[in-house]
Amino acid sequence: MKTIEKIYNYDNISTEEIDEKTTRARAIIINSKNEVLMCYSNGLQHYEFPGGHLEENETLEEGLKREILEETGISLNEEKANLFYAIKYYCKNYHDSGKNRLVEIYYYVVYCDDIYDDSKKNLDSNEIMQNYECRYINVNDLKNTLIENKKTTKENNSALDDMILIWDEFLKINAG
């Protein structure tokens, strides 16, 4: 599967102007019942693909594997994870910090019938506070669920816009 890359750089920031970088890895986990495993924050009323920030010196695959285990309790076999999509945001004066930040988010496709296990999850304090939970959504319903979620979430809609874009790209590639 070829990796698609989307770059947002509205302020035309050069790589040399970047002061800090954040990297995340997320997974589109699909089982044989044609369901996608999503994480849902009851506090923010927001869906997202499982995954998160890489820790220092972690590879994308190591970070993905760790985040999936922490958020879903699934021990991901790295060979099952195929890099599919990358989004890069060049952000000038990130959150009024005076620093320019590059945010990179890498999305993997994982076909996996392992069922999420709450007893093996290791959520951080923010995820616990937001009542983070796993939910399966049928592949045919995911786009509409994300569109509806845009209307009800307390979170920034750009993340949902990205997920809809990524899901549309995934469906286009896998239509044949």
pLDDT given at position 126: 81
Angle at 99 between CA 93 and CA 104, to 5 degrees: 85
Give the CA distances from residue 39 to residues 6, 8, 72, 78, 139, in Å, rounded to whole numbers and listed in that order.
23, 25, 8, 20, 15
DSSP secondary structure string, 111-142? E--PPP-GGG----HHHHHTTEEEEEEETTTH
Contacts of 17-21 with CB under 8 Å at 24 or more apart are 17/100, 18/90, 18/100, 18/101, 18/102, 19/99, 19/100, 19/101, 20/94, 20/99, 20/100, 20/101, 20/102, 21/101, 21/102, 21/103, 21/104
Distance CA 85, CA 107 (A): 5
Each domain of the chain, given as residue ranges in start order, spans 4-173
Whether pLDDT at 1 is above 70: no
Q: What does the alpha-carbon distance between residue 92 and residue 141 come to, in Å, rounded to a whole number?
A: 36
Q: Is the pLDDT of residue 156 over 90?
A: no
For the segment 91-135, what is each residue's pLDDT rounded down to a tens digit? 999 989 999 999 999 999 999 999 998 888 888 888 877 878 999
pLDDT for the residue numbered 170:
92
Q: What is the pTM of this model?
A: 0.91
Which class does domain 4-173 fall in?
Answer: alpha beta
- For residue 176, pLDDT beyond 70: no
